[in-house]
Structure 1
Amino acid sequence: MTFRLGRPTMRTTRRGFLGGTTAGLAMTGPVVSARGRPNTVPIRKIATEEAFATPALAKAWLEIARTDPKASLDVPTGILSIFDNPRPGSNQDRFRRQLLDLDGERLADMDQAGVDVQVLSVTIPGVQMFEPAAASAFAIATNDHLAAAISRHPRRFAGLACFAPHDPIRATLEMERAVNRLGLNGFIVNSHTGDLYLDDPRFAPILEAAQALDRPIYLHPRAPSNGMAAPFRDYSMGGSIWGFGVEAGTHAVRLILSGVFDRYPRLRIVLGHMGEALPFWMWRLDHMAARRARDGRMKPLALAPSEYFRRNFAVTTSGFESPDLLDLVLKSAGNENVMWAVDYPYESSHDAVAFIEGVSLTGAQRASIFHRNAERLFRLK
Structure 2
Amino acid sequence: MPRAQAIALEEHFAHPEFAARFGVAGPVDALTGPLESRLPDMDAAGIEIQVLSHAPGAAQSLPADEACSWSERINDHLAAAIGGNARFAGFASLPMTAPEAAARELARTVETLGFRGAMLHGLTNGAFPDDESHFSLYAEAERLGVPIYLHPSFPHPAVMQAYYADWTERFPMFGMAAAGFTAETMVIAIRMMLGRIPELFPKLQLILGHMGEAIPFLLERIDESLARNNGGQRFFRERFLRHFHITTSGNFSDAALICALSEMGADRIMFSVDWPYVANRAGRDWIDAAPLNEQQRLLILNGNARRVLRLP
TM-score (norm 2): 0.94
CA distance in 1, matches of 2:35, 2:193: 39
1:105 corresponds, among 10, 27, 37, to 37
Equivalent residue letter for 1:220: H
Maintained 8 Å contact 2:150/2:208: yes
Residue 227 of structure 1 and its aligned partner are, at CA, apart by 4.1
Unaligned runs of 5+ in 1: 1-39, 63-78, 83-94
2:112 corresponds, among 181, 201, 208, to 181
2:102 corresponds, among 143, 152, 171, to 171
Maintained 8 Å contact 2:249/2:271: yes
Residue 360 of structure 1 and its aligned partner are, at CA, apart by 1.5
Maintained 8 Å contact 2:149/2:208: yes
Q: Does 1:59 align with 2:44?
A: no
**Pairing of 1:209-288 with structure 2 (within 5 A):** 209-230=140-161, 231-235=163-167, 236=172, 237-288=174-225
Residue 124 of structure 1 and its aligned partner are, at CA, apart by 0.5
**Pairing of 1:127-142 with structure 2 (within 5 A):** 127-142=59-74
Unaligned runs of 5+ in 2: none
User: SS at 2:104's partner residue?
Assistant: helix
Maintained 8 Å contact 1:306/1:332: no
Maintained 8 Å contact 1:191/1:219: yes
CA distance in 2, matches of 1:227, 1:258: 24
User: SS at 2:10's partner residue?
Assistant: strand
Cα RMSD, aligned residues only: 1.5
Residue 246 of structure 1 and its aligned partner are, at CA, apart by 1.1
Higher helix share: 2
Residue 141 of structure 1 and its aligned partner are, at CA, apart by 0.6
**Pairing of 1:45-124 with structure 2 (within 5 A):** 45-62=6-23, 80=25, 95-124=27-56
Deviations 1:307-352 (A, max 9, x none): 1121100000000111110011112222111000010000010010
CA gap 1:307/1:206 in 2 versus in 1, 3 angstroms? same
Q: 1:91 matched to which residue of 2? A: none
User: SS at 1:294's partner residue?
Assistant: coil
CA distance in 2, matches of 1:98, 1:104: 11
Residue 249 of structure 1 and its aligned partner are, at CA, apart by 0.8
Q: Does 1:350 align with 2:287?
A: no
User: SS at 1:215's partner residue?
Assistant: coil
User: SS at 2:175's partner residue?
Assistant: coil
Equivalent residue letter for 1:283: E
Larger radius of gyration: 1
CA distance in 2, matches of 1:379, 1:104: 23
Could you list the structure 1 runs, at least 4 aligned residues long, displaced by more than 6 angstroms after superposition: none
Residue 155 of structure 1 and its aligned partner are, at CA, apart by 2.0
Equivalent residue letter for 1:145: H
Q: Does 1:313 align with 2:250?
A: no
CA distance in 2, matches of 1:226, 1:261: 29
Q: Does 1:145 align with 2:145?
A: no
Q: 2:137 matched to which residue of 1? A: 206
Residue 379 of structure 1 and its aligned partner are, at CA, apart by 0.9
Residue 109 of structure 1 and its aligned partner are, at CA, apart by 1.4
